[in-house]
A = this chain, B = another copy of it.
Amino acid sequence: MTQTALRQDLNTRVEEVLRERFALHCTTAEAYGPEFAALWRAGADHALGGKLVRPRLLLDVHHALDPDAGDGPITAAVDIATQIELLHYAFLLHDDVIDGDLTRRQRPNLIGALAAGTPGISAQDSLHWARSSAILMGDLILSAAVMGFARADVPHETRLRLLELVEQTILETVAGEHTDVALSHGIIPSDVETVLSMSVYKTATYSFSLPLRAAALLAGSSRSAEETLQTVGRHLGLAYQLQDDLLCVFGDHRSHGKDAYSDLREGKETAIIAFARSTSAWTRIDPRFGAPDLNLADAEGIRDLLRECGAERFVVGLIGDQLDAVYALLAEAELAGEITSDAARSILVSASRLEGRQA
């Protein structure tokens, strides 16, 4: 099988495992009434729409680290990749509740879909019903993901290390989300350093470090290789998040999947904004930043100011720094014999395949 065919095959397997698991949950849910079954069906519908970037990253890197892995280890890797996708979906669900979002990838998210699907009750009650349902579905998926790690068909010692990894991941992701909420209310002052560490915790840990470390763990790599991959994941994840931030403000809005300038309308504390706050341009950006009725002219005005004050250039530079750090870490790990050059190349290829605003 060629590399591409193998990759395609593994992705299909992740999708199939996810589909089977949700089908089973939907059937089990019938016993608790039609509303609960409907919640699971809606959950399945939304969970299965993703691009599976985290499972792909894990499986690609696992293959690169252990190209001769047999059926057993590959099945275990597919299983853990599936749990990571579930974890991602659980985080999205609670994130959308906290942010008050009703859409994702330009279509209604679970909350939006449920709120629209309850005729005969007030809009306020519909929204409460939909958000409560999303909190509860998130709890189910979060515990299912942890339970999946706990049941991994690997030696007990490996399973304990996987559990430690997922525990650390959940802690950091929640800490990052908590800091994000604090920033949005001005409870923590916004500066570049705080925003960057928030992004690492909230996004990079579970989206990049987790799949990379899990791949290393399952491939039987050394602890030092795993630690290197954790750091590589942080830099890649930060680069990805910064790229995503740039796209929303400076990107071509016809080609990426998010409302134009939504970050500016929502007053999101990105690295772009944190930098701009430290410049004299901020007094001209501040009055309309985060205005719910921000129109296109306002947004373009802010965009131009963000460009003029150097925020775009600054963040482009930060992305370059992250990628430089990744190259240096991988080169060093290769030299030290921690990972093969094939694995290093695979990580870079996987990372470059990621697109912002869609994952």
Contacts and interface: CB of A to CB of B under 8 A. Distances in A.
B171 A140 contact: yes
Interface string A133-171: 101101110111011011100001000100100110011
Given A146-B143, A146-B147, A136 B177 contact: yes
Given A28-B171, A118-B187, A139-B174, A147 B163 contact: yes
A136 B182 CA distance: 13
Interface stretch (A15-23, A29-37, A67-75, A270-278): A29-37
A26 to B, nearest CB: 12
Contacts of A181: 128-129, 132-133
Contact of A163 (B151, B166, B170): B151
A253 interface: no
Contacts of A98: 132, 135-136
Contacts of A36: 175, 178-179
B187 A129 contact: yes
A156 B153 CA distance: 12
Interface of A: 28-29, 32-33, 35-36, 39, 90, 94, 97-98, 118, 120-121, 125, 128-129, 132-133, 135-136, 138-140, 142-144, 146-147, 149-151, 156, 160, 163, 166-167, 170-172, 174-175, 177-179, 181-182, 185-188, 201
Residue from A120, A133, A185 with most neighbouring chain B CB atoms (10 Å):
A185
A310 to B, nearest CB: 27
Contacts of A33: 175, 179, 188
Contact of A125 (B149, B174, B185): B185
A174 B137 CA distance: 8
A147 B269 CA distance: 33
Contact of A146 (B136, B138, B146): B146
A172 B35 CA distance: 14
Nearest to A188: B35
Contacts of A156: 156
A166 B182 CA distance: 33
B175 A29 contact: yes
